[in-house]
Amino acid sequence: DAMVIQNPRYQVTQFGKPVTLSCSQTLNHNVMYWYQQKSSQAPKLLFHYYDKDFNNEADTPDNFQSRRPNTSFCFLDIRSPGLGDAAMYLCATSREREDTQYFGPGTRLTVL
Amino acid sequence: GESVGLHLPTLSVQEGDNSIINCAYSNSASDYFIWYKQESGKGPQFIIDIRSNMDKRQGQRVTVLLNKTVKHLSLQIAATQPGDSAVYFCAENWGSGYSTLTFGKGTMLLVSP
């Protein structure tokens, strides 16, 4: 049974055209995370929500925003995608911050 | 497009061999460690974890060893199978509160039939 679901799995957008990626979870976990992963690199944390409390990483560009309307859903908004934003975007959840994170399958973003 | 990534360290083994993947972690205060497996085009998959009050933990065909003295973590896979081919990441977490996981660079495991 899928526990962390990401849609779409593949997203193509144009340079500068806003795009939204979505994540949902059936685990009822408190924490939801968004990571960016580029080829042959480790996932890089962009931000996370603890419940409704948003926590941004210091080096996350302003171009990246997030929303968490309820426990189950979290969205990643890229306001003006650049070519350098092409990557795999991973959503993860954990019960508490110090607990195991469970990842979704990712969304592969292509910027044309 | 994507920027060119770094070449990952690669471990090549034959099917049936035992594999050992190593990881040096960064923070001596880290108290929780996880190994993830990531197959091409998929999200990281939890394999096994260990807390800092342990030095060894075993799962099905996998064992994690923790050496806090030298800040070293290893993942041992017994009787490696072609389906084990993937990138393996270690991750560490130090303490509770606002800390989150920090991922290591990753090692690619290639298993030949």
Question: Rounded distance, CA A36 to CA A101, Å?
Answer: 15
- Residue B44, pLDDT > 90, answer yes
The mean per-residue pLDDT over the stretch B44-59 comes to 96
Question: Rounded distance, CA B37 to CA B89, Å?
Answer: 6
On whether the CB atoms of residues B49 and A100 are closer than 8 A, the answer is yes
Query: What's the pLDDT at A29?
Result: 96
DSSP three-state, residue A84: helix
Query: What's the pLDDT at B95?
Result: 59
Distant-in-sequence, close-in-space partners of A30: CB < 8 Å, separation ≥ 6 = A50, A51, A71, A94, A95, A96
What mean pLDDT, rounded, does chain B reach?
89
Query: What's the pLDDT at A94?
Result: 93
Distant-in-sequence, close-in-space partners of B78: CB < 8 Å, separation ≥ 6 = B18, B61, B62, B63
Question: Rounded distance, CA B112 to CA A74, Å?
Answer: 40
Give chain B positions within 8 Å (CB) of A86.
1-2
Query: What's the pLDDT at B1?
Result: 34
Question: Which residue do the tokens 């973003």 mark?
Answer: A109
The mean per-residue pLDDT over the stretch B62-73 comes to 95
B5 confidence band (pLDDT: 50, 70, 90) = very low
Query: What's the pLDDT at B26?
Result: 83
Query: What's the pLDDT at B96?
Result: 57
Query: What's the pLDDT at A101?
Result: 92
Amino acid at residue number A16: G
Select the residue of B8, B44, B99 nearest A43 (Cβ to Cβ): B44
The answer to whether B113 contacts chain A (CB < 8 Å) is no
Strands B86-93 and B32-38: what pairing?
antiparallel
On whether the CB atoms of residues B108 and B10 are closer than 8 A, the answer is yes
In Å, what is the CA distance from B94 to each residue of A50, B40, B51?
Answer: 17, 29, 10
A59 to chain B, minimum CA–CA distance in Å? 15
Query: What's the pLDDT at A98?
Result: 80
B6 confidence band (pLDDT: 50, 70, 90) = low
User: Which is more confidently placed, A76 or B6?
Assistant: A76
Residue of B23, B89, B90, B101 for testing the chain A interface, max A β-carbons within 10 Å = B101
Question: Rounded distance, CA B71 to CA A73, Å?
Answer: 37
Chain A (24-83) residues lying within 8 Å, Cβ to Cβ, of chain B: 33, 38-43, 45, 48, 55, 83
B102 to chain A, minimum CA–CA distance in Å? 9
Tokens standing for residue A41: 């690199």
Tokens standing for residue A32: 């939801």
- Residue B2, pLDDT > 50, answer no
Give chain A positions within 8 Å (CB) of B25.
none
Residues of chain A with pLDDT under 50: none
The answer to whether A23 contacts chain B (CB < 8 Å) is no
Distant-in-sequence, close-in-space partners of A53: CB < 8 Å, separation ≥ 6 = none
Q: How many CB atoms lie within 10 A of CB B6?
A: 12
The answer to whether B83 contacts chain A (CB < 8 Å) is no
The answer to whether A84 contacts chain B (CB < 8 Å) is yes
